[in-house]
Amino acid sequence: MDTCGKIAVIGAGPAGLLTSFFIRKNDVIIFEEHTSPGKPEHCTGIVGSFTASFLKQILGDGIIDNKYYGVVFHTPHRKIELLLNKPIAYHIKRPFLEEKLSNMVEKLGHRLVLGVKVKPGEKPGSLRVGQRSLQFQKTIAADGSYSLFRRVCFGPIRNKIYGVQAVVKANIDFPNIFHIVYTNIIPDFFGWFVPLNEEIALIGYGTKKHFNYPQRIIKYLSRRIGLSNYAIKRFFGGTIPLEPPLRKPVCMEKIFFIGDSIPLIKPYTGGGLYGITLLALPLAKLLDGEITLERYLNIYNKYYKKFIAQYRIVNIVKKLGYWLPVFFIEDLYRLKMFKEYQFDEHERIAYKSIPLLPYTLPRLVFSSITAELNDFKK
């Protein structure tokens, strides 16, 4: 057994790299199984204002390459548009995020070891790399939704969805507006159209099945949003974990989980960058000995409650119709009660919607009946 030092980070994704960036009092070795951080790419890169300004402070303006002042929701009943004075969402450049963070952590003196898959060793805190056994005092398991460390400590994440997306070239009239499409042909999630500029956009959807005729679904989505001419340049995607976060993301006080291995994601959209920006700094402080484990778990608990509330609301919404919250958002928007920074605060949107129930629900029923009648007439 080789004794290697204090902190090992498994995974050079946003979670592992951002946490490493904040660790300043200890040397860190980051192990990444792929040879280029951030590749193969999988993420759409949409974040709210909190995550955008957090990442901008660390990585500079270049990390954001588009801002969205509006969103169009295509529900099965009708189209709902929200236009705001301030950006509701931002596009983060990935894998540029991982590339830039990798350079920054190396400049701090941390070591990045690429092309090496690490497995949990037999003893807590020990790691296996091929035939070698390495010993670290602490391990950060930032190894994503297929985390081997999570599997050993808490069991695997079983509830997952595959995000499939196409990079398309087209003439995009409104590059600062993104679209969300709800349809029966995507029963488990929704579809999205996210322009990157006037010429390039991402069209994607979430599905429980791996291969679901992607070309046909992309064609359907582009028709729904009114995009007639486009050329698919390439497909990419990945897995979105849809399980509630771990109650305590720490195993035997030696292995600390962050990111998709917890998974600390927004259950309605699958967005994971927000949870990472919330937790990376406190986790780094814990490992640098600046805060106690108890303090760290108190901080985590605050976020846990937020995400678990979202998770419970989403479970109800899934049974009733994924598009249901959009009607409440529309009413909040009309009443000037919807704020652009609530992009990440789905539980607050739900709480604010409760007094609107007597108003929004009849409107929703009316809208459904009208849509059914229109279908019948056709």
Q: Which is nearer to ligand FAD, 211 or 376 (CB)?
A: 211
Decide if 58 contacts 164 (C-beta within 8 A). no
Q: Which is nearer to ligand FAD, 94 or 352 (CB)?
A: 94
Cα–Cα distance between 338 and 330 in angstroms, integer?
A: 8
CA distances from 37 to 59, 79, 81, 262, 363 (A): 16, 39, 37, 20, 48
Q: How far is the CB of 315 from ligand FAD (least distance, A)?
A: 20
Listed residue (54, 56, 5) closest to 31, CA to CA: 5
Q: How far is the CB of 262 from ligand FAD (least distance, A)?
A: 8
Q: How far is the CB of 75 from ligand FAD (least distance, A)?
A: 20
Q: How far is the CB of 32 from ligand FAD (least distance, A)?
A: 5
How are strands ordered across the β-sheet holding 64-68? Answer: 46-47, 89-92, 64-68
Cα–Cα distance between 178 and 186 in angstroms, integer?
A: 18
Q: Which is nearer to ligand FAD, 12 or 166 (CB)?
A: 12
Q: Which is nearer to ligand FAD, 66 or 360 (CB)?
A: 66
Nearest residue (beta carbon) to ligand FAD: 272
Q: Which is nearer to ligand FAD, 55 or 364 (CB)?
A: 55
How many degrees, rounded to 5, is the angle at CA 137 between CA 136 and CA 140?
80
Question: For residue 357, what are the contacts with CB-CB under 8 A and spacing of at least 6?
Answer: none
Q: Which is nearer to ligand FAD, 142 or 251 (CB)?
A: 142
Q: Which is nearer to ligand FAD, 46 or 364 (CB)?
A: 46
Alpha helices in the chain (DSSP H): 14-22, 49-59, 96-107, 148-153, 214-225, 273-287, 293-320, 324-334, 346-353, 357-377
Q: How far is the CB of 269 from ligand FAD (least distance, A)?
A: 7
207 — phi, psi (to 5°)? -145, 150
Q: How far is the CB of 359 from ligand FAD (least distance, A)?
A: 31
Q: How far is the CB of 242 from ligand FAD (least distance, A)?
A: 11
DSSP 257-295: E-GGGTT---TTT---HHHHHHHHHHHHHHHTTSS-HHH
| Residues in touch with ligand FAD (CB under 6 A) | 10-16, 31-34, 42-47, 117-118, 142-144, 148, 163, 165, 237-240, 259-260, 265, 270-274, 276
